[in-house]
């Protein structure tokens, strides 16, 4: 912590001196959107044409605050990934996109599922919130997420990532980070787009995906429909479990998406429906490799009705009603006798949510948001299954949360104050305040941020608690400092330092105790105070020549407590399964009017993971050499009218990609692909162009 504060003082001294030396040099954003409403933003016109980078810096960030603010004014550490960056990078799926984010890493959970770690901390059970068009994509049994040929990228408008806590706004899924995927709506699409991706690896088909988007705006009515269907695999390599048994993942690790996203709006009223059926299979199970592939499926569908309008000139209201149904981790068949460790599992969960927010903007220097939300969670286990703790087939939990946020704009700094107070019928209460101070000094910008956040125990966390102990919410306190510089109209660089302290961490512990009857494993609150500290650097360049993005992140857990869930006995500063050092490079360089090439890469430093068990049944941790994955994509836009296409090689050197487990469950590393060759094609039918031709 002392090192964090020292670095903060050093950076402030350097940039204060730099701003004095530059005298009257002032580089401002193209526009300041901090005091405008969404409606006013939609009608905003700039006095001159802004550069792509200025659009990003001056654009409204909706994820990090209940009031849209610019990137440099928003009271969070935020990364914005634009549609151009996604398309021109040659990204195959959302995993490739999120690898651009500092601190983000992917690790194996169990049953073939790959999920996120962030800043050296495992985050698959409610620590990171993923939203798509404002809808929670985390399933509600364990609060998890499954990545790999899952969420569509063909219609993304932009992705906003809060690299830090978001519970003061979003509650118990946003302890460490928030990923907000915003899709194109009808007034963005204005036509029909067809997309296809085909890939090969080791002489086998690695994926075939087909997607579409259709949408338009007719007076005040806006509609869009996006879909994706496909087949993919996790790997063609062999998986070797901790007991030394190897099985092939080729055609045994399916990742098959079936996805629909419908949006409709008329004036202040909007409707949304999402259907997400992710069909996967696994041969890695929990510890032992399986004799054949078994299903592990994730089904969700959800809907929302939202109304937003003005009560008075400076008073707005937003009301939302949401419904979400999930059937995660489903295997509703019977395994072979030799695969008895992988058994029948099926759960049906429903979440009903109501929320209302009032926004008051009485003057330029002050605004406030106040509101409340409540939700009810219901879980059902069919076919005679019982929840482990309650010994019943049906459970229900309720949560209520008032919240407030205030923005003060002064001549010296802008200050954001906010808090959310969650009250649960199961885990009790959780208060999560936040404080953000932002300041512009010459060409530099500063943010000093503090926030409390939490992870709410999920339905199955409660039910699988060890010894029937009632779980407390996991609670974190995060201190962050960021300095950023808009170096010119095309270039932006930011550096942030962070310190995370987590108490009552909810961890799954593998406990071997022959005296205990039944399943001795389960969840409990860790008695140790854990966390991480480190820094993140992000550099972005964008102009008519193309774009370049570079990101570097470093974390350490030395000085923090550890428990058996994440400890590496031989390396006190590293957390299990994750790399202390990571960098990524992404680019899209224009070649003439229609073509571009996009070299990219990412690097993970040394990691530690379980690879075997000794004669006493204890796990053996091994060290893994750094991993470097380089890729190249060649693409074209409108070389043939309305057609975009590209050819890519992912993992040019054919290095074996590995996903390590980031907690102590003795799962061996799960392989990804070696070298992949792939082709992307997109064809657009523009309504307006056809209308012009007819007239």
Q: DSSP string spanning 385-397? A: ---TTT-SSEEEE
Distance from C-alpha of 680 to C-alpha of 635, rounded to nearest angstrom: 9
Mean pLDDT computed over 416-423: 96
The answer, yes or no, to whether residue 1 has pLDDT greater than 60, is no
Q: How many CB atoms lie within 10 A of CB 275?
A: 15
Query: Cα dihedral angle (96, 118, 109, 522), rounded to 10 degrees?
Result: -160
What pLDDT, on a 0 to 100 scale, did the predictor assign at position 617?
A: 81
Separation CA 454–CA 289 (nearest Å) = 35
Is residue 513 pLDDT above 50, yes or no?
A: no
pLDDT confidence tier of residue 18, bands split at 50, 70 and 90: very low
Q: What radius of gyration do the chain's Cα atoms show?
A: 25
Query: Is pLDDT of 167 > 60?
Result: yes
CA distance 34 to 54: 15
Lowest-pLDDT range of 127-131, 331-335, 337-341: 337-341
Contact yes or no for 151/116 (Cβ under 8 A): no
Whether the per-residue pLDDT at 694 is higher than 70: the answer is no
The position carrying tokens 């899209």 is 588
Contact 188, 265 (CB under 8 A): no
Cβ(128)–Cβ(156) under 8 Å? no
Per-residue pLDDT, 263: 97
State the sign of the Cα–Cα–Cα–Cα dihedral 133, 139, 143, 146. negative
Worst-scoring range by mean pLDDT, 67-71, 128-132, 476-480, 666-670?
67-71
* Model pLDDT, residue 7: 43
Where is pLDDT greater, at 165 or 37? Answer: 165
Residues 6+ apart with CB under 8 A from 527: 563
Higher pLDDT among residues 339 and 58, named by residue: 339
Instruction: Break the chain into its structural domains and give their ranges.
Output: 2-694
Average pLDDT value for the chain: 88
For 2-694, which CATH superfamily applies?
A: TonB-dependent receptor, beta-barrel domain (2.40.170.20)
Cβ atoms 134, 273 nearer than 8 A: no
Instruction: Assign 508 a pLDDT band (cuts: 50, 70, 90).
Output: confident
Residues of the chain with pLDDT > 90, as a percent, come to 73
Residue 74 main-chain phi, psi, to 5 deg: -70, 140
d(CA 308, CA 149): 34
Residue 357 tokens read as 């927010």
Report residue 688: phi and psi, to 5°: -65, -35
Instruction: Give the pTM.
Output: 0.90
CA distance 273 to 461: 28
Tens digits of residue pLDDT in 617-668 = 888 999 999 999 999 999 998 888 899 999 999 999 999 999 999 988 889 9
120 closest CA partner among 430, 592, 513, 562:
562
- Listing DSSP states for 71-82 in one string gives TTTSSS-EEEEE
Asked if the model's pLDDT at residue 106 lies above 90, the reply is yes
Burial 32-53 (b: 16+ CB within 10 A, else e): ebbbbbeeeeeeeeeeeebbbb
Average pLDDT over residues 576-603: 95
How many whole angstroms separate alpha carbon 443 and alpha carbon 487? Answer: 7
Tokens of 12: 């402030």
What residues pair up with 226 in beta bridges, in sequence order?
213, 261
Confidence of residue 520 (pLDDT cuts 50, 70, 90): low
């Amino acid at each position: 912590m002392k090192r964090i504060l020292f670095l903060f003082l050093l950076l402030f001294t350097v940039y204060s001196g730099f701003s004095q030396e530059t005298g009257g040099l002032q580089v401002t954003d193209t526009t300041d959107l901090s005091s405008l409403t969404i409606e006013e933003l939609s009608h905003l016109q700039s006095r001159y044409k802004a550069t792509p980078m200025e659009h990003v810096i001056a654009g409204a960030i909706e994820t990090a605050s209940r009031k849209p603010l610019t990137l440099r004014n928003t009271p969070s550490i935020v990364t914005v990934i634009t549609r151009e960056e996604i398309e021109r990078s040659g990204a195959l799926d959302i995993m490739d996109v999120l690898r651009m984010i500092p601190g983000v890493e992917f690790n194996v959970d169990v049953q073939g599922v790959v999920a996120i770690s962030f800043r050296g901390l495992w985050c698959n059970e409610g620590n990171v919130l993923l939203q798509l068009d404002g809808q929670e994509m985390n399933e509600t049994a364990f609060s998890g997420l499954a990545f790999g040929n899952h969420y569509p990228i063909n219609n993304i408008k932009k992705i906003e990532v809060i690299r830090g806590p978001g519970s003061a706004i979003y509650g118990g899924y946003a302890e460490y980070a928030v990923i907000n995927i915003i899709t194109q709506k009808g007034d963005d699409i204005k036509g029909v787009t067809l997309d296809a991706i085909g890939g090969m690896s080791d002489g086998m088909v690695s994926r075939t995906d087909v997607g579409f988007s259709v949408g338009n705006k007719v007076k005040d009515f806006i509609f869009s429909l996006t879909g994706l269907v496909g087949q993919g695999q996790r790997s063609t390599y062999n998986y070797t479990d901790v007991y030394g048994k190897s099985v092939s993942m080729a055609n045994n690790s399916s990742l098959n998406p079936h996805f629909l996203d419908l949006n409709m709006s008329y004036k202040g009223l909007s409707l949304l429906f999402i259907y997400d059926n992710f069909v996967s299979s696994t041969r890695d199970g929990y510890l032992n490799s399986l004799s054949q592939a078994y299903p592990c499926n994730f089904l969700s569908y959800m809907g929302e009705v939202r109304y937003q309008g003005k009560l008075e000139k400076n008073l707005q209201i937003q009301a939302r009603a949401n419904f979400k149904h999930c059937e995660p981790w489903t295997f509703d068949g019977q395994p072979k006798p030799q695969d008895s460790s992988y058994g029948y599992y099926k759960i049906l969960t429903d979440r009903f949510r109501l929320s209302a927010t009032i926004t008051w903007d009485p003057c330029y220097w002050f605004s406030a948001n106040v509101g409340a939300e409540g939700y009810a969670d219901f879980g059902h286990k069919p076919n005679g299954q019982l929840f482990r703790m309650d010994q019943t087939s049906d459970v229900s939990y309720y949560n209520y949360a008032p919240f407030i946020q205030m923005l003060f704009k002064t001549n010296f700094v802008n200050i954001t104050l906010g808090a959310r107070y969650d009250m649960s019928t199961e885990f009790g209460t959780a208060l999560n305040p936040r404080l953000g101070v932002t300041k512009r000094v010459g060409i530099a910008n500063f943010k000093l941020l503090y926030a409390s956040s939490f992870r709410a125990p999920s339905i199955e966390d409660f039910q699988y608690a060890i010894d029937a102990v009632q779980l407390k919410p996991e609670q974190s306190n995060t201190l962050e400092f960021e300095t950023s510089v808009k170096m010119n109209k095309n270039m932006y660089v930011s550096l942030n330092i962070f310190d995370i302290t987590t108490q009552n961490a909810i961890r799954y512990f593998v406990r071997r105790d022959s005296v205990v009857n039944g399943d001795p494993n389960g969840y409990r609150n860790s008695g140790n105070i854990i966390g991480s500290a480190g820094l993140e650097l992000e550099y972005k360049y964008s102009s008519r020549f193309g774009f370049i993005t570079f990101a570097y992140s470093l974390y350490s857990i030395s000085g923090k407590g550890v428990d058996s869930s994440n400890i590496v006995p031989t390396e006190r500063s590293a957390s299990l399964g994750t790399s202390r050092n990571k960098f990524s490079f992404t680019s899209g360089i224009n070649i003439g009017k229609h073509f571009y090439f996009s070299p990219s890469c990412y690097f993970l430093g040394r990691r530690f993971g379980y690879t075997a068990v000794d004669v006493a049944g204890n796990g053996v941790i091994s060290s893994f050499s750094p991993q470097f994955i380089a890729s190249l994509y060649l693409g074209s836009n409108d070389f043939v009218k309305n057609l975009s296409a590209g050819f890519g090689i992912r993992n040019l050197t054919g290095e074996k990609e590995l996903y390590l487990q980031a907690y102590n469950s003795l799962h061996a590393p799960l392989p990804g692909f070696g070298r992949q060759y792939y082709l992307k094609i997109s064809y657009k039918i523009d309504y307006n162009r056809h209308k012009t031709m007819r007239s």
